[in-house]
Amino acid sequence: MFSNHFDSNNLHHAYLIEGERMKALSEIMRFLESIDIKTSGNADFSLISLDSFSVENARNLKSLSVEKSFSSSLSAQANKRIFIISTNNFLLEAQNTLLKMFEEPIEDVIFFLIVPDKNALLKTLASRFYVISLERALGEEAEMADKFLNMSLQKRVDFIKDLLIENEGEEEELEKSVRLKALKFLNALEHILHKKLVSRTVLDIGVFEHFFKVRKFLRMPGSSTKSLMESVAFLTPNL
């Protein structure tokens, strides 16, 4: 439950929610309904769910956000325009396109941005949001990360090679799928490694700084997912 972060009398103009999509979406919907904002049959409510949020998507969002409300309700809450954006991959160019929009609140417009990892966002963008972090559901990635920490370097390289294999689909979609798999695994590896190092009262900041850089470059079209993840295999300490 994170609805206690929402104050119906003093809503923030933009919320950044880090965590599992369906859990976050369910909470948001429940809250909106509780303050008489309809989530169906409402022209002022938009749910945008994309695997990858592009510059074109960002430009469309900017255009939509400045349109006038369709509602003629006397209720101040019901007159608000709501945008829920859920994405696994928020491209850097798209983030830069939306910086000013999130910096300067638009009257009666509220944004909810759901992402699996807030660290993948530009700090300048994230700072414009009220941030809510849900407990991460790492699933099988956590098990793989735990095993990865005990592998020899050659086995790590082989593991990365197998992890990034995708056989079916258009080239562009294949690349997106591979990058998403890499990001999910990197998030799990970072989480597991941090827990292990903290429990040993040893924390190598350098490796986490490298993870941050890899995560940043993985979101840049044209970067080599294989090379980036192999650098993780080389620099991650063996535990």
pTM value? 0.63
pLDDT, residue 129, reads 92
Give the DSSP letter of residue 238.
P
Q: Name the residue type at position 40.
A: S
Residues of the chain with pLDDT under 50: 74
pLDDT, residue 21, reads 83
pLDDT, residue 200, reads 65
Cβ(27)–Cβ(14) under 8 Å? no
Tally of CB atoms within 10 A around 142:
18
Beta strands in the chain (DSSP E): 14-18, 45-53, 81-90, 109-115, 130-133
Condensed to tens digits (0 to 9), the pLDDT of residues 25-74 reads: 888 998 888 888 888 888 889 999 998 899 999 999 999 988 877 665 54
pLDDT, residue 74, reads 43
CA dihedral sign, ordered 37, 43, 48, 54: negative
pLDDT, residue 79, reads 72
pLDDT, residue 70, reads 66
Pairing relationship of beta strands 14-18 and 109-115 according to DSSP bridges: parallel
Helix axis angle, 140-148 to 171-199, nearest 10°: 60
Partners of 53 in beta bridges:
90
pLDDT, residue 133, reads 81
